[in-house]
Amino acid sequence: CSMVGSLDPGLVAKHPALARASLELDSRLVLIDPSTNTDKYYILQIVANGDDEYFLWTRWGRTGSGGTGNLDEGSRDEVYELFATKFKEKTGVEHERAASGAYAPLPGKYKWLAVAKTGASAKWEYFVDDFVDGKRTGWYPYTDDASEVVEMLYHDYVVAKNADMANRFVKSGHFTYAVDLSSSAGEYTQRNTSTGKERKIRRNAAP
């Protein structure tokens, strides 16, 4: 969790004036409970805008949702102290100790993930073979928002190499989907946790 990835898209969308700000500290936290199909995230980022403007950006919610974002401004020391306080509050571990790699996440608390800079994104598609909504058999694109969510999960697991993040739960409308990215051959799936319907999904990196 000591690496720095990329500015959270939620920050850029809500505060476009900070789109070119410098990301100084970055932490992506998740809390997953397969027994209840629960998957929540908590993002913490320290952003510097020039030499004298410092902000702590936090965004949290159910995976699949835009969640709630908050921006706090203060001195550099104040913002770093607030980051440390919130990190420990969510994980139960001090950030410096978590970053050292010598401490494991605590049961029932948020887990910190390795982060990496985002590169070229891809679009995601799902396969229909049951004529749902009158659709012919074939591949269909996710909505842009849904595609961005699954691309972030792929980034967490494949790019940032969080080995235990292959199986996630994504909230979409009234349903929750279990997304399985564990296939080394790219044979990924999504399963509606209410109906049990499973579909093949794929990452389309073509421009």
Among the listed residues 169, 170, 167, 206, the one whose alpha carbon sits nearest the alpha carbon of residue 188: 167
Ramachandran category for residue 68: left, alpha or beta (phi over 0 → left; psi -120 to 50 → alpha): beta
Q: What is the pLDDT of residues 111-164, one digit of tens each?
A: 999 988 877 679 999 999 999 999 999 999 999 999 999 999 999 999 999 999
Give just the sign of the alpha carbon dihedral 88, 92, 97, 100.
negative
Q: What percent of the chain has a predicted confidence (pLDDT) above 90?
A: 83
Structure tokens at 65: 């949702």
- Give the pLDDT score at 184: 87
Query: If you search the block for the tokens 């961005």, which residue do you land on?
Result: 148
C-alpha 9: how far from chain center: 11
The DSSP bridge partners found for residue 32 are 39
**Three-state DSSP string of the chain:** CCCCCCCCHHHHHHCHHHCCCEEEEEEEEEEEEHHHCEEEEEEEEEEECCCCCEEEEEEEEECCCCCEEEEEEECHHHHHHHHHHHHHHHHCCCHHHHHHCCCCCCCCCCEEECCCCCCCCCEEEEEECCCHHHCCCEEEECCHHHHHHHHHHHHHHHHCCCCCCCEEEEEECCEEEEEECCCCCCCEEEEECCCCCEEEEEEECCC
**Residue 146 to residue 57: CA distance in whole angstroms:** 23
- Give the pLDDT score at 206: 67
Q: Is the pLDDT of residue 29 over 70?
A: yes
**Mean pLDDT for the stretch of residues 175-195:** 94
Q: What is the pLDDT of residues 107-125, one digit of tens each?
A: 999 999 998 887 767 999 9
- Give the pLDDT score at 5: 82
- Give the pLDDT score at 178: 97
Query: If you search the block for the tokens 């571990």, which residue do you land on?
Result: 93
Structure tokens at 169: 């739960």
**Mean pLDDT for the stretch of residues 69-84:** 97
**Mean pLDDT for the stretch of residues 35-63:** 96
- Give the pLDDT score at 3: 62
**Residue 182 to residue 192: CA distance in whole angstroms:** 17
**Mean pLDDT for the stretch of residues 77-83:** 98
- Summary mean pLDDT of the chain: 93
Check if the beta carbon of residue 146 is closer than 8 Å to that of residue 137. no
